[in-house]
Amino acid sequence: MSVALNQQGELTMAVKHTPTQEVHRGTKGGTTGCGFDTRKHPQHWVATFERITCAKNGCKN
């Protein structure tokens, strides 16, 4: 598993969508903060320590 810091400096789980290079809050094999299901096309998702770049509700706040 990987973690990232949110805007408040708290640790959160992060996954990267490899086709878009966008980093979301959430876990591989689950759902992102903004609602993407990482179980659909699991090869497109990787756990990461990178900063969350998704600006949608649920990922950024």
Q: Is residue 28 part of a domain?
A: yes
H helix intervals, the chain = none
Domain total in the chain: 1
Q: Is residue 16 part of a domain?
A: yes
Q: Is residue 56 part of a domain?
A: no
Task: Among 7-11, 41-45, 51-55, name the one with the lowest average pLDDT.
Answer: 7-11
Angle CA(12)–CA(36)–CA(7) in degrees, nearest 5? 30
The residue range of the domain holding 22 is: 3-47
Q: Is residue 60 part of a domain?
A: no
pLDDT tens per residue, range 11-45 = 668 999 999 999 999 989 999 999 999 999 999 99
pLDDT at 49: 86
pLDDT at 17: 97
Full-model pTM: 0.80
